[in-house]
Amino acid sequence: MSFGDPNNPYGQPPQQPPAPPQAPPGYGYPQAPPGVPPQGYGYPQQPAYPGYPGGNAMFPQTMPGLLVTARVFLFIISAVQVLAALGWFYVAAIANDVSDAADRYSTSSSDDPFGAFSDGADIASGVIVVIALIAAGLAALSIILGVKFSKGGQGVRITTVVYGALGGIVGLIMLFVGLDSGMASAVIFPLIWVTFAAVITAAPVVSSGTAWFARPRY
């Protein structure tokens, strides 16, 4: 028997061909552990998950539709408030003119009706001016909040929610007064106001609005 015979069961096993040498790792690429496919050029990257270091949280890239609607409502409300402020300033000017006219006809006597009327007109004029200033301030606040929707953070969000809630309370009071009066015209405007306030209050609270105001800013 020859040990070189391939059919000899007692002979030495045939020699296996040598394994090809592994290619050296590419310059600048870390080696993946066994069983993990390499990631580099030409390989899809694994997505990053929010909540982990280095993960990219999913934030909306454009303003959600409900926030856009609330922003439009804020601008509409600001226009109404500007008109109301101008109207109150006009009424205050009329009251001031009436007070001046009463002063011209008043005398120094204690029972002069024109003197009392002049004093009442002055007080009314001052109160109306305060109301006009409040309306003008609310109009400015509505405009600022609407503008800040694009880049504002949590401060704008909380202020909008509080502002909308207070506006909704005022609208509900006006609505109840209108319903008690029995006039349809006294109900339409408060109902529209309550609807606007509800949208403005809800838009920053829903998940899309919360994500919009919590997004990173660069």
Query: In whole angstroms, what is the distance from residue 65 CA to residue 53 CA?
Result: 31
Dihedral over Cα of 175, 178, 180, 184: its sign: negative
For the segment 181-204, the average pLDDT, to the nearest whole number, is 90
- CA-derived radius of gyration, the chain: 39
Angle at 37 (CA atoms; ends 32, 38), nearest 5 degrees: 55
pLDDT in tens, 8-53: 555 555 565 555 555 555 545 455 555 555 554 444 454 443 443 4
Dihedral over Cα of 68, 74, 78, 81: its sign: positive
Q: Which residue ranges make up each domain of the chain? A: 65-213
DSSP secondary structure string for all residues of the chain:
--TT-TT-TTSPPPPPPPPPPPPPPPTT-PPPPTTS---STTSPPPPP-TTSTT------SS--HHHHHHHHHHHHHHHHHHHHHHHHHHHHHHHHHHHHHHHHH--SSTT-HHHHHHHHHHHHHHHHHHHHHHHHHHHHHHHHHHHHTTT--HHHHHHHHHHHHHHHHHHHHHHHHHHHHT-THHHHHHHHHHHHHHHHHHTTTSHHHHHHHTS---
In this structure, the chain runs to a length of 218
Q: Tell which wins on pLDDT, 214 or 37.
A: 214
Please name which of 63, 206, 218, 76 lies closest in space to residue 148, comparing C-alpha atoms. 63
Mean residue pLDDT across the chain:
78
Q: Which residue has the tokens 């029972």?
A: 111
User: Whole-prediction pTM value?
Assistant: 0.67
- pLDDT for the residue 22: 57
pLDDT in tens, 74-104: 999 999 999 999 999 999 999 888 877 776 7
Per cent of the chain over pLDDT 90 is 42
Residue 120 CB partners (closer than 8 Å, separation 6+)? none
Helix axes 113-148, 65-105, angle to 10 degrees: 160
Residue 91 CB partners (closer than 8 Å, separation 6+)? 128
